[in-house]
């Protein structure tokens, strides 16, 4: 038992000394934000609201918020990348394109118009169409989470409000 405890502490203790710590969400310098321009049931807006809600208040009215994040374009695309000589699709490219800006309620620009693009390749097989459809949904969710993290990093860079 003592040997086991010694072995565990020998592997864990050096991690504390080297400065290792789990990744933390970026710190935001404002206390409230409003999201505008999103589609009514946007999955991206819902995940963004959830992430932002952990640090700041997410308000419905932009005139009372410190920062207004305005979605200009939120687009999901799927295009054929490779096909066989018999025109059967072998590979798709999935993309999420998001254009946005951030400003104060008074109109001062905090983040000028920015474009974020996340893409993934998806192999395809007609024999496994249902499984590939589920894989596509998982990839879109993963891409959306990555996009939310990129937006959070950009918002964390805003220092003067």
At 100-109, the pLDDT tens digits run 999 999 999 9
How many structural domains is the chain composed of? 1
Going by C-alpha positions, the residue among 157, 149, 161, 148 that lies closest to residue 27 is 157
Query: CA-CA distance, 12 to 107, in Å (whole number)?
Result: 50
Asked if residue 9 belongs to a domain, the reply is no
Domain range spanning residue 81?
23-156
Tell me whether residue 83 is in a domain. Answer: yes
pTM above 0.85?
A: no
Is 10 among the domain residues?
no
Residues 6+ apart with CB under 8 A from 97: 73, 74, 75, 77, 115, 116, 117
* Any domain includes 17: no
120, 143 Cβ separation under 8 angstroms: yes
Residue 40 in domain:
yes
Write out the DSSP string of 28-78.
PS-SEEEEES--TT-HHHHHHHHHHHTTSEEES-GGGSSEEEEEEEEEEEE
* Mode of pairing for the β-strands spanning 57-59 and 89-103: unpaired
Per residue in 89-137, pLDDT (tens digit) is: 889 999 999 999 999 999 999 999 999 999 999 999 888 889 999 999 9
Residue 27: band (very low, low, confident or very high) from pLDDT cuts 50, 70, 90: confident
Q: Which residues contact 65 (CB under 8 A, 6 or more apart)?
A: 32, 33, 34, 59, 105
DSSP character at residue 121: E
Identify whether 2 is part of a domain. Answer: no
Cα dihedral angle (156, 30, 99, 120), rounded to 10 degrees?
40
Q: Is residue 71 part of a domain?
A: yes
- What length does the chain have? 161
Residue 44 lies in a domain: yes
Most confident of 7-16, 80-89, 149-158: 149-158
- Can you give the CATH number for the domain in which 84 is found? 3.30.160.150
């Amino acid at each position: 038992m003592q040997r086991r405890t010694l072995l565990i502490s020998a592997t864990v203790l050096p991690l504390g000394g080297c400065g290792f710590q789990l990744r933390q969400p970026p710190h935001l310098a404002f206390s409230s934000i409003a999201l505008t321009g999103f589609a009514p049931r946007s999955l991206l807006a819902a995940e963004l609201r959830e992430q932002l809600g952990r640090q700041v208040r997410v308000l419905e009215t932009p005139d009372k918020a410190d920062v207004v994040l305005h979605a200009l374009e939120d687009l999901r695309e799927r295009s054929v990348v490779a096909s066989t000589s018999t025109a059967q699709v072998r590979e798709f490219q999935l993309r999420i394109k998001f254009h946005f800006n951030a400003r104060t309620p008074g109109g001062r620009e905090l983040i000028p118009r920015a474009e974020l693009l996340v893409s993934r390749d998806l192999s395809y097989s007609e024999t496994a169409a249902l499984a590939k459809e589920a894989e596509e949904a998982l990839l879109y969710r993963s891409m959306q989470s990555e996009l939310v993290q990129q937006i959070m990093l950009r918002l964390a860079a805003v220092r003067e409000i």
